[in-house]
Amino acid sequence: AGYGARVVLTDHGERAREEVAAAKAREISETEGLTLLHPFDDPQIVAGQAGAGLEALDQLGAKDASVDLLFCSVGGGGLIGGVSLAFHYLSPKTQTIGVEPEGFNGMGSSLSHGSIETMPIGPKSICDGLMARAPGKAPFAAVKAAGVQGVTVGDASVRQAMKIAFERLKLVLEPSGAAPLAALLDGKVDVKGKTVLVVATGGNVSLADFMAHMNHA
């Protein structure tokens, strides 16, 4: 709102938050004649998110370095769709690991079944930016083509990752942004002797919430 946007809040009750918000966005788009930009299920959004991967590859190239494993968070799949494709084509030896909150592993489940799966509504996660019940069609196609593997993390591990990022790296991460680091620290994947890249995005967390997470870590 500070940048001039009109913020519309929705009351989702027992329904999935993302689905209620998406329905409201479609309603506003239709009634007001506005263009609806989907947050993740659009090929152009996925392509744009590949920029994060290209930037990482540029930085690695400048240091003549390469990566064996890449950890990236997964909500609807826009970010990991773009990043994984960038590495798939430009650094094919890199294995991408998609990290989701426990109970919201729609992408991992979909990859296991070979088609998009919708997760049931369950307990909430502190990773509120990763609570999509199912991946988008465009991101799923990208992630499947890139051979991504999926893992999950719990809230306690995410809080610990936030604490370590702050204390040792001086990074303030929101829970969703700390999920990939949590998976690495949890030993979800064997990283011994390997070079690892963690996509740590973003830092959208209030001071009060951040301190509460630190106190529970």
- Go through the domains of the chain in sequence order and give each one's CATH number: 1-36 (no CATH), 43-216 (3.40.50.1100)
pLDDT at residue 4, as a whole number: 86
pTM: 0.92
What's the mean pLDDT when you consider all of the chain? 95
Q: Using the predicted structure, report yes or no on whether residue 17 has a pLDDT greater than 90.
A: no
CA distance 186 to 158: 10
**CB distance 148 to 119 below 8 Å:** no
Q: Using the predicted structure, report yes or no on whether residue 19 has a pLDDT greater than 90.
A: no
Least confident of 5-14, 68-77, 108-117, 157-166: 5-14
CB atoms within 10 A of CB 135: 32
pLDDT band at 1 (very low <50, low <70, confident <90, very high): low
Q: Which residues have CB under 8 Å from 28's CB, separation 6+? A: 8, 34
Q: Using the predicted structure, report yes or no on whether residue 203 has a pLDDT greater than 90.
A: yes
* Bond before 202 cis per omega within 30 degrees: yes
Q: How many helical (H) and strand (E) elements, i.e. helices and strands, does the chain have?
A: 8, 4
Q: Using the predicted structure, report yes or no on whether residue 116 has a pLDDT greater than 70.
A: yes
